[in-house]
Structure 1
Amino acid sequence: MSTMNISLPESLKSFVDDQVSQRGYGTSSEYVRELIRKDQDRLQLRGLLLAGAASPPAAIADGTYFSGLRDRVLRNAKGGAPK
């Protein structure tokens, strides 16, 4: 594991220290790693959402679509084969 040193103003250091103690992190490094992981997840989700928004619709989401979706879910819940 690599080491990275950061400089923080006292107000941010106090905030990090408070979060570490209040949220059960062992160290400030654990807290910062968790923040970075959440940011990575957020960026990945944003990319997926943008890709989805840019793609053409696969089907019109009307009453027929949702009825078919509901039927598939109910069949799967009863042990039927998924289509």
Structure 2
Amino acid sequence: MRNRQDLPEPDEQFIQRQLESGRYHDRNEAIHAGLRMLEEFEDGLERWVHDEIPGRYAELQRHPSKAVSFEDARARFENKHRDALAKAK
């Protein structure tokens, strides 16, 4: 059974590179930073689904020609989120 602190080797290597860069002081700080980013991403996605979808759906019912694919919509959201994270750094 894997110790709860053990991660797959590629993840451990990534963390080690982050530590060597001096960006983080220890393993836990790097892991917590990743979890915060994931939480921000998930929170943003949840807000988008709950706050924007109902209004957008109503707009699409009125103007179907404005529709975009799910893949395009998700890519736009992910790009927007990445840009926001980059600005926060």
> Which TM-score tier does this pair reach, normalised by the shorter chain?
0.5 to 0.7
**Structure 1 residues 11, 41: closer, same or farther in 2, change over 3 A?**
closer
Higher relative contact order (CA 8 A, sep 6+): 2
| Corresponding residue number in structure 1 for 2:9 | 10
| Corresponding residue number in structure 1 for 2:72 | none
- The one-letter code of the counterpart of 1:31 is A
Residues 2-61 of structure 1: per-residue CA shift (max 9 Å, x gap): xx942123333222111122152100100000000111111110011111232236xx8x
Question: Which structure has the bigger radius of gyration?
Answer: 1
CA distance in structure 1 between the partners assigned to 2:10 and 2:47 by the alignment: 35
CA distance in structure 1 between the partners assigned to 2:6 and 2:43 by the alignment: 27
Aligned residues between the structures: 55
**Structure 1 residues 56, 12: closer, same or farther in 2, change over 3 A?**
closer
**Is there any run of 5+ residues in structure 2 with no aligned partner, and where?**
60-89
- % of aligned pairs identical? 15
| Bigger share in helix | 2
**Structure 1 residues 40, 11: closer, same or farther in 2, change over 3 A?**
closer
Partner secondary structure for residue 56 of structure 1 = helix
- The one-letter code of the counterpart of 1:51 is H
| Corresponding residue number in structure 1 for 2:30 | 31
TM superposition outliers: structure 1 runs of 4+ over 2 Å? 8-12, 52-57
- The one-letter code of the counterpart of 2:51 is G
